[in-house]
Amino acid sequence: MATSEIFFGPFKVTTQVFYKTRLSMAIVNIKPILPGHVLVCPLRVVARYKDMTNEEVVDHALAVQKVAKVIERVYGTTGATVAIQDGASAGQSVPHVHTHIIPRKLNDFPSIDDVYTHLESSEGNVGKFFEYQRQRKIVEEQKKELVVESMNRPGRSMEEMEEETRMLTAEMEKEETKRSSL
């Protein structure tokens, strides 16, 4: 789908982009909490929500709405947790604004709010996972420390993410075709 390199913070995610507007993108998640857990981000790497332009905020919100609708349909869910962790103190692990869209079903966690515990845990720390991936060949000691933290919910392979990207790209295109025919 993408023709030029696209980044999520410092990480290249070009092949994980399944929806793109002029100012926003939606990407599959390397460590989804539940099936269908995706991220919507501004194309411009901007760390905090308050630093987005008005135009970016509007485009981002509309992209979140469109993506959430398709994700719920595709994954057969009845709701979604839509969350932004704005800044490191709020649990943001990659310094690039991103909205989590997590499709939800009744009783998918013992408590409805358990999803937030997963977002804040080391299991959901994508930044640390990517750092591990980048450094594992270089620094053996860091590898040991980070492997223990990432074992509970290992990241998916590039092939798995690209397969989901292709499927969701097709589903987003179907939605756009359906909307334009109304």
* Active centre residues (catalytic): 98
Q: Which alpha helices (H) appear in the chain, and where do they start and end?
A: 54-75, 114-120, 126-135, 140-150, 158-180
Whether 125 has a binding-site annotation, put simply, is no
Taking the C-alpha atoms of residue 138 and residue 141, their distance in angstroms, rounded to an integer, is 9
User: Quick one: tokens of 31?
Assistant: 């460590």
54 a known binding residue?
A: no
Q: Is 165 exposed, middle or buried (0-12, 13-18, 19+ CB in 10 A)?
A: buried
Q: Is 93 among the annotated ligand-binding positions? A: yes
Q: Provide the 3-class DSSP secondary structure of residue 154.
A: coil
3-class secondary-structure state, position 45: coil
Alpha-carbon span 151 to 55, nearest angstrom = 39
Instruction: Consult the annotation and say whether 65 binds a ligand.
Output: no
Residues 97/23, Cβ–Cβ less than 8 Å: no
**Is 94 flagged in the annotation as binding?**
yes
Contacts of 104 by beta carbon, 8 Å cutoff, 6+ apart: 34, 77, 78, 79, 80, 81, 115
Binding-site members for substrate are: 29, 85, 91-94, 100
Binding-site members are: 29, 85, 91-94, 100
